[in-house]
Structure 1
Amino acid sequence: MTPPVAAGSGERDLAAVARMFADPGRARILAALADGRSLAASVLAAEAGVSPSSASEHLAQLCDAGLLTVERSGRHRYHRLADRQVAVAIEALLAIAPQRPVRSLREHQRAAALRTARTCYDHLAGRLGVAVTAALVERGALEPVDGVPDTRRRPHDPISAPLPTHPYRLGPDAAAVLNGLGVDLAALRDAPSRRPLLRFCLDWSEQRHHLGGRLGAALLSAATERGWVLPTRRRRVVELTAEGSRALGVEI
């Protein structure tokens, strides 16, 4: 007699998730939310270049698929990614997606800006994110544990995904360096959270490591509060100020 199959014990339905990314409108909606924002349907319709009715249909499908969740504020509804794993999936797909032909100077400038400095959910990515991580290693806030002295890609590192093993730990000067950057390391470590303090990704555009996790989020928050890193009108693109360059010890 064949034993019963337990509910939920089957293979993951990759095709069901892939269908959500297959429509250009839905893909643009997901990309618009990849920086962790919560946006109204009307804003997402404009971002995706679709009608409000089409946006509503796409949003319903994305919510049903578990990729988005809805926040209510009074009479308004705001959509955001369900969790950080969705943002990671978006970044990973960007790494293997073919480049669309650049049809204008504006598109070229946006693509270049994304590679230079962007947010990946709630931490820095692109050339800026990689440079900040390298600077933390150089200043002793992070130290490699695998014998490689910099943030280069290690063999078998997955592209644009959290690394399965952590090649760095907090260095001997972590508290002093991070305090100078506006991050209270002791308070951050003591705060209850299921999210790891340290998490590293292989940046899809730079092919080097950038810092994520709670520390990466706290560092971006502190840099934003101090005006070192500024949001721009381009979605996910940020700007490093001259003061930020000096404080973070990076040039891009």
Structure 2
Amino acid sequence: MGQHNISSVAHLIAEPVRSVILITLADGSAMSAGALAEAAGVTAQTASSHLSKLLDGGLLSVESKGRHRYYRLAGAHVSHVLESLASVGPVTPAWRTTPNRSAQALRFARCCYDHLAGQISIAVTQSMLTRGFVVEAGERHYALTPPGCAWLQQLGIDIGDLAVGQAEQGRQCLDWTERQYHLAGPLGARLMDAFLAWGWMRRSPATRSVTVTALGWEGLRKHFGVERETCGPD
């Protein structure tokens, strides 16, 4: 990528209103211009101007449904950029110890585009590594092992084209609040879909935060060895 492209993208992301819009969409959702204007605290006209620039810059896509237009990130690669930028520099002690419940909820569990992030995701990833279900493979990747494949099938997860040993099926995503890698890529997305389908977790309708249900804590303890008492807040 040329210097011009890097500077152009950086300029688009750096503007405060546009950064809020992008972060609001970082869970993979699609939202109207009005909803994004409200999230960013600006007028509809101002939001429209910023949305046009993000579309022209290739960071957003838009789809029309009837009279309404809905915006979403142009792809997972945009979410990866946002998470990577957030991970640059130290997480301040104030952020880690903040009494703000919304911030605590995001640190504990949140959507990172199509996969799980936060403290609970780190615990799940470490469990899979410890149990030999995935192994580190090459630079910033995880590979599914034969025991891991069998285990996922026993859980009822359709592994589909997730071939054993292929590193591109699991990606190491640097968690910006924990400074550790969590599982992303197709394998991370399959797990997130399963957690939601089983009722183990619920996505917040208003933020990127994810709530673990009572059924989820039971399943996480049984299948991942992740205990509620040692893994953060409710």
**In which range does the TM-score fall when normalised by the shorter chain?**
0.7 to 0.9
Give the one of 80, 84, 88 matched to 2:76.
84
Aligned to 1:125: 117
Query: CA–CA distance in 2 between the matches of 1:188 and 1:171?
Result: 14
1:10-49 aligned at under 5 Å gives the runs 11-49=3-41
Q: Which moved more, 1:16-25 or 1:35-44?
A: 16-25
Aligned-pair CA distance for 1:144:
4.0
Q: Which has the larger radius of gyration?
A: 1
Q: Which moved more, 1:228-237 or 1:35-44?
A: 228-237
Give the one of 215, 223, 229 matched to 2:201.
229
Q: TM-score, normalised by structure 2?
A: 0.83
Aligned-pair CA distance for 1:234:
4.5
Aligned-pair CA distance for 1:15:
2.0
Conservation of the 8 A alpha-carbon contact between 2:143 and 2:169: no
Conservation of the 8 A alpha-carbon contact between 2:106 and 2:208: yes
Give the one of 134, 138, 144 matched to 1:170.
144
Query: CA–CA distance in 2 between the matches of 1:124 and 1:19?
Result: 28
- In the alignment, structure 1 segments of 5+ residues that lack a partner are 1-8, 147-163
Give the one of 49, 52, 56 matched to 1:57.
49
Partner letter of residue 112 of structure 1? Answer: Q
Conservation of the 8 A alpha-carbon contact between 1:175 and 1:184: no
Aligned to 1:239: 211
Aligned to 2:181: 209
Aligned-pair CA distance for 1:58:
0.7
Q: Aligned-residue CA RMSD in angstroms?
A: 2.6
Aligned to 2:162: 189
Partner letter of residue 108 of structure 1? Answer: N
Cα 1:243–1:198, aligned 2, differ >3 Å: closer, same or farther?
A: same
Once the two structures are superposed, residues 59-100 of structure 1 have per-residue CA deviations (whole angstroms, 9 ceiling, x without a partner) of 001101111011122222110111111111111221237879
Query: CA–CA distance in 2 between the matches of 1:140 and 1:86?
Result: 31
Give the percent of matched residue pairs that are identical in Structure 1 and Structure 2.
42
Conservation of the 8 A alpha-carbon contact between 2:84 and 2:174: no
Q: Which moved more, 1:226-235 or 1:46-55?
A: 226-235
Cα 1:239–1:99, aligned 2, differ >3 Å: closer, same or farther?
A: same
Aligned-pair CA distance for 1:134:
1.2
Aligned-pair CA distance for 1:39:
0.7
Conservation of the 8 A alpha-carbon contact between 2:83 and 2:174: no
Moved over 6 A (4+): 97-100
- In the alignment, structure 2 segments of 5+ residues that lack a partner are none
Mapped pair 1:109 → 2:105: no
Q: TM-score, normalised by structure 1?
A: 0.78
Once the two structures are superposed, residues 160-195 of structure 1 have per-residue CA deviations (whole angstroms, 9 ceiling, x without a partner) of xxxx442x422231123212433122x2437xxxx9
Partner letter of residue 16 of structure 1? Answer: S
Partner letter of residue 171 of structure 1? Answer: T
Aligned to 2:134: 142
SS at 2:28's partner residue? coil
Q: Which moved more, 1:212-221 or 1:67-76?
A: 67-76
Aligned to 1:220: 192
Partner letter of residue 213 of structure 2? Answer: T
Conservation of the 8 A alpha-carbon contact between 1:110 and 1:234: no
